[in-house]
Amino acid sequence: MSTAPILSSVPVDAAVPRHVAIIMDGNGRWAKARHLPRVAGHKAGVEAVRRVTRAARAMGVEALTLYAFSSENWRRPEDEVGALMGLLRLFIRSDLAELVEENVRLRVIGDYRRFAPDLVALVDDAMAKTAHNSGPILVIALNYGSQAELVAATRRLAARAAAGEIDAAAITADDIEAELDTAALPPLDLVIRSSGEQRLSNFLLWQAAYAELLFVDTLWPDFTADTLAEAIAAFGQRQRRYGGL
Ligand code: IPE
Ligand code: IPE
Ligand code: MG
């Protein structure tokens, strides 16, 4: 007699990364090539976010992390920063219902509490409304910088050590990981950067320790479900070794 379970869970396909992170770059250059203002590139970038989040869900990616605003992006002109915030408001207002419907959990990494109070409230509300969902996780990096994340984690651990709650000499990599904004997310498998730039720009430095890196020339507003499918196919061809043979 077979003892196979009647309901088998969805097969885990090793060729599909569990956690994909994307550095969505190239909006400005996309707009420039069309003689449009940079904000037009950001608007088109939001459309790409919709396409790619839907595609990632359809492909069975458990967690998708999108770099939307870095802690260094405050260096941009005030009107561009304002336009990016405006687009974020619009995105949450128009897409929250779909995320709830699709059983997506929304999480934010980064110090988003530095944003305008209404935007902070909007983000908190969106996270609360999706907190009990059990499906894929959409992580948006807002005012995120990996070094600031590590500094904050280090300070919390140092404070606990100073208070005698933990032994500083016994701190492990797991302890550090538990203090990061990404705690409890699946391990990062694949980092994709669009627009041809080949750098991490302070994104998930710790988490990317053994992630596969993929740099594509496509500008973010041109990124489609097919671009993601190609990236995932390329990931499937990589041989991950983690220092072993
Ligand atoms: C990425 O596109 C979007 C954000 C950083 C918010 P850019 O605005 O950096 O586009 P380029 O790099 O100038 O083309
Ligand atoms: C990284 O892109 C940040 C985001 C995609 C949000 P940038 O365009 O800000 O990065 P640099 O300045 O070219 O390194
Ligand atoms: Mg850029």
* pTM tops 0.85: yes
Per-residue pLDDT of the chain (245 residues; tens, 9 = 90+): 444 444 444 445 679 999 999 999 999 999 999 999 999 999 999 999 999 999 999 999 999 999 999 999 999 999 999 999 999 999 999 999 999 999 999 999 999 999 999 999 999 999 999 999 999 999 999 999 999 999 999 999 999 999 999 999 999 999 999 999 999 999 999 999 999 999 999 999 999 999 999 999 999 999 999 999 999 999 999 999 999 99
Q: Of 64, 20, 27, whose CA–CA distance to 218 is shortest?
A: 27
Q: Residue of the nearest CA to atom 13 in ligand 2? A: 201
Which ligand is nearest the CA of 72, by number? 2
Q: What element of type H or E holds 54?
A: helix 38-59
Smallest CA separation from ligand 2 atom 2, residue: 25
Domains of the chain: 19-147+187-236 (3.40.1180.10)
Q: Ligand 1 pocket test: which of 22, 23, 27 has the largest number of ligand atoms within 8 Å of its C-beta?
A: 27
DSSP assignments along 133-171, one per residue: --S-EEEEEEEE-HHHHHHHHHHHHHHHHHTTSS-GGG-
Q: How far is the CA of 26 from the centre of ligand 3 (A)?
A: 5
Instruction: Quote the ligand 2 centre to 25 CA distance (angstroms).
Output: 6
Ligand 2 is surrounded, with C-beta below 6 A, by 23-25, 67-70, 73, 197, 199, 201
> Please, are residues 19 and 61 in contact by the beta-carbon 8 Å criterion?
yes
Annotated catalytic residues are 25, 73
Q: Work out whether the CA dihedral 101, 104, 105, 106 comes out positive or negative.
A: negative
Best residue for ligand 2 mutational test, from 29, 32, 46, 73 (most atoms within 8 Å of Cβ):
73
pLDDT digits (tens, 9 = 90+) for 11-23: 456 799 999 999 9
Q: Tell me the pLDDT tens digit for each residue of 26-48.
A: 999 999 999 999 999 999 999 99
Q: Which residue has the tokens 């459309």?
A: 47
